[in-house]
Amino acid sequence: MSAGAPVETNRTAAGDRTRRARLAILLLAILLLATMLLSLASGASGASALVILRDLFGQADAEALRDRIIIYDIRLPRLLLGALVGAALAVSGAVMQGLFRNPLADPGLVGVSSGASLGAVAMIVLGPTMFGSFNATLGPLALPVMAFLGGLITTFVLYQVATRQGRTSVATMLLAGIALGALAMAVTGVMIFIADDRQLRDLTFWSLGSLAGATWSKIYVVGPIILASLAISPFLARGLNALALGEPTAHHMGIPVQKLKYAAIVSVAAAVGAAVAVSGGIGFVGIVVAHMLRLAIGPDNRYLLPASALLGASLLLLADAIARTIVAPAELPIGIVTALAGAPFFLWILLRKRGLLDL
């Protein structure tokens, strides 16, 4: 352009947070590794993670054998499931906030969570009578599958309601999501009303959230779904960045906006449906992680999304480690831990950084 002589610039130009973001991603990856090791080493039983080392050196006495079962069949699947769920919830939260251009959006808003809950509750209460054969065929997977379907169906209905002439209205979707969520909650309430005592107890534990039921078979079911959704997220990043300037501007900048919305909604619905299906209602991860990161590295989704996956996984593993050890040998539902730790922390961030969050 005819702006005269080239402008002198430093090597790290002002306002450029990419280096900080890359460093943060590196540190978060290290944090995740550390929390994984911690998670492997801690638990109700005294099993030592050193068993893995001992395995490598071929010493297998009886105690080592017991420890190996605890490590490989209990802690390892739980660790992987926790990391997957944490990453899924955090990335979904970040994607929803970008899509709805609203820092308060979380996966709960598009009805996935409430729909998934309804599916799970229906399975617990009506399962034995109404879905007998379904129950028998799928066994312990019946509940997660129903929850996943519940989440997906709710999201699909919402998408249809909000889409007119090929364009999805984000505002309509937000409002319809609140209405549909309330409806799902009401039906869930009816289920709770007709549930018997044992079912009630199952319901309560499921809704508080827990990773206690982690098995390898659950990982084989939800792992691919969550990993696929995480793998899509880098391709959404550029579009979500442009969307921060509004839908018309995103279109001006060459983003196929309708396709972007569709891909984002489907991937969030799948990931959150899968996460809720295996872990119940784990709150706050979806909304807090992206916020913390945005304050630290800025809102650029190219870095925000991978950083959210890493931090979400780490935080959930930490919360699970606390849930498992704080009242050992009993175990606190993880949803209580994330809410007890997440809510005050979130408030504290809001109070400190109010200026930056104001729009």
Instruction: Return the residue matching tokens 């969307």.
Output: 243
Is residue 203 within 8 Å of 121, Cβ to Cβ?
yes
* Shortest Å distance, C-beta 251 to another protein: 5
Binding-site size for another protein (CB under 8 A) equals 39
Rg (Cα) of the chain, in Å, rounded? 22
Distances (CA, A) of 330 to 80, 133, 211, 214: 21, 34, 14, 16
In the 8-state DSSP scheme, what is residue 7? P
Give yes or no for residue 354 binding another protein (CB under 8 A): no
Pick the binder of another protein from 138, 161, 238, 341 (CB under 8 A). 238
9: amino acid identity, one letter: T
Q: Which is nearer to another protein, 206 or 303 (CB)?
A: 303
Give yes or no for residue 22 binding another protein (CB under 8 A): no
Residue 164 three-state SS: strand
Query: Residues 259-298 vs another protein: string with x where CB under 8 A?
Result: -----------------------------------x---x
Give yes or no for residue 54 binding another protein (CB under 8 A): no
CA torsion through residues 108, 112, 115, 117, sign:
negative
Q: Which is nearer to another protein, 203 or 240 (CB)?
A: 240
Pick the binder of another protein from 157, 200, 244, 341 (CB under 8 A). 244
| Six token digits for residue 148 | 């996943």
187: Cβ–Cβ under 8 A, 6 or more apart, which residues?
Answer: 118
* Shortest Å distance, C-beta 343 to another protein: 22
CA distance 284 to 90: 9
Is residue 239 within 8 Å of 250, Cβ to Cβ?
yes
* Shortest Å distance, C-beta 62 to another protein: 57
Pick the binder of another protein from 252, 327, 343, 347 (CB under 8 A). 252
Is residue 303 within 8 Å of 21, Cβ to Cβ?
yes
Q: Which is nearer to another protein, 82 or 107 (CB)?
A: 107
Give yes or no for residue 104 binding another protein (CB under 8 A): no
Q: Which stretch binds another protein (CB under 8 A): 27-35, 106-114, 249-257, 306-314?
A: 249-257
Q: Which is nearer to another protein, 151 or 239 (CB)?
A: 239
Pick the binder of another protein from 2, 46, 56, 136 (CB under 8 A). 2
Cis peptide before 329 (omega within 30 of 0): yes
Residues near another protein, by CB under 8 A = 1-4, 6-9, 13-17, 101-103, 238, 241-242, 244-246, 248-249, 251-257, 294, 298-300, 356-359
